[in-house]
Structure 1
Amino acid sequence: MELTLVAEEMRSVLNRLRRAQGQIAGVIKMIEDGRSCDEVVTQLAAASRALDRAGFAIIATGLEHCMTEPEGEGGTPVDREQMRARLEKLFLSLA
């Protein structure tokens, strides 16, 4: 399934990914500086949530895309069961 995100959705996803990137860099520095375990885990959890939210935003956009454009490549009809299975697999990959 090819996914083209509209500009506003892409901006939101990129902001979340940049935030996660900064948080991960912060976690690395915290570990290098010998910070406490609870501080490191708290920041790591925040980065994980940011990544999850970015993934869910991409999946939601893909779902919207599938609902508005029910044809596959070359204009062939999409097998609904196959599409359902692909979307389920995407959701489970973030679970």
Structure 2
Amino acid sequence: MTAQEQAADAGTAEQHGAYWYAADKQALLGRLRRIEGQVRGLHRMIEQDTYCIDVLTQISAATRALQAVAVGLLEGHIAHCVTEAAKDGGDPSAKVKEASEAIARLVRS
């Protein structure tokens, strides 16, 4: 992530305060650390000339793990951010649009 993107993310977080997943932050970070370990393992597999199908199997496992994190974040966005926008009298359609765009990005990847 570029410094410009990080600054934009920080600005967004400041505008919204703590996000809904703050209570689950440590669990999310733990899952991401495990995925990071999987990716480091993939690096070692390539260094050690591991059979290509075994590497592909591990890539698939890491991809599924990232997808699970993404789906959890999307579910939370819909359950919390969209719902809160509706409760606060705002227009939840902007939050739904954000979710739809995120889903489209995930489907393309």
> Residue 62 of structure 2 aligns with which residue?
47
Give the % identical residues: 30
Select the structure that is richer in helix: 2
Contact 2:85 2:91 in 1 (8 A): no
> Residue 81 of structure 2 aligns with which residue?
66
Greater RCO (CA < 8 Å, at least 6 residues apart) = 1
Q: CA RMSD in A?
A: 2.3
TM-score, with length taken from structure 2: 0.70
Match of 1:12 among 27, 41, 62: 27
Q: What stretches of structure 1 of length at least 5 have no aligned partner?
A: none
Q: What stretches of structure 2 of length at least 5 have no aligned partner?
A: 1-11
Match of 1:90 among 94, 102, 107: 102
Q: Tell me whether 1:29 sits opposite 2:41 in the alignment.
A: no
Q: Give me the whole-angstrom Cα distance separating, in 1, the residues matched to 2:106 and 2:30.
A: 19
Q: Give me the whole-angstrom Cα distance separating, in 1, the residues matched to 2:85 and 2:93.
A: 12
> Residue 91 of structure 2 aligns with which residue?
79
SS of equivalent residue, structure 1 residue 5: helix
SS of equivalent residue, structure 1 residue 34: coil
Q: Give me the whole-angstrom Cα distance separating, in 1, the residues matched to 2:68 and 2:103.
A: 12
